[in-house]
Amino acid sequence: MTLPSKVIHVIPEERPLVEHLPHVLHAHACEGWEHVTAFPYDGAGRPGTDAMVPSLSPVTSTVCILKRLA
């Protein structure tokens, strides 16, 4: 079964999100996915981050919604 849409959560690892995100989107585009929209998600820390203080997390991630190209 092929899903018509997909949600990905991009958390920068070793480089800033502004450098990491285009590479992630390009990789998905090569697999036949088209970017629909994205929004920032603050406080999405790496595993082990204290969930009680998400606003203090230094990691800002992005949630992207993609759709399968026709």
Which strand ranges, in their side-by-side order, compose the sheet holding 33-42? Answer: 5-10, 60-68, 33-42
What does the pLDDT read at residue 65?
A: 95
Question: From CA 12, how far away is CA 67, in angstroms rounded?
Answer: 22
pLDDT tens by residue, 42-69 = 754 555 555 544 444 555 788 999 999 8
Tell which wins on pLDDT, 54 or 33: 33
The number of folded domains in the chain is 1
Question: From CA 5, how far away is CA 29, in angstroms rounded?
Answer: 13
3-class SS of residue 29: helix
Mean pLDDT of the chain: 79
Question: Containing domain of residue 18, as a range?
Answer: 5-47+56-68
Question: From CA 28, how far away is CA 43, in angstroms rounded?
Answer: 24
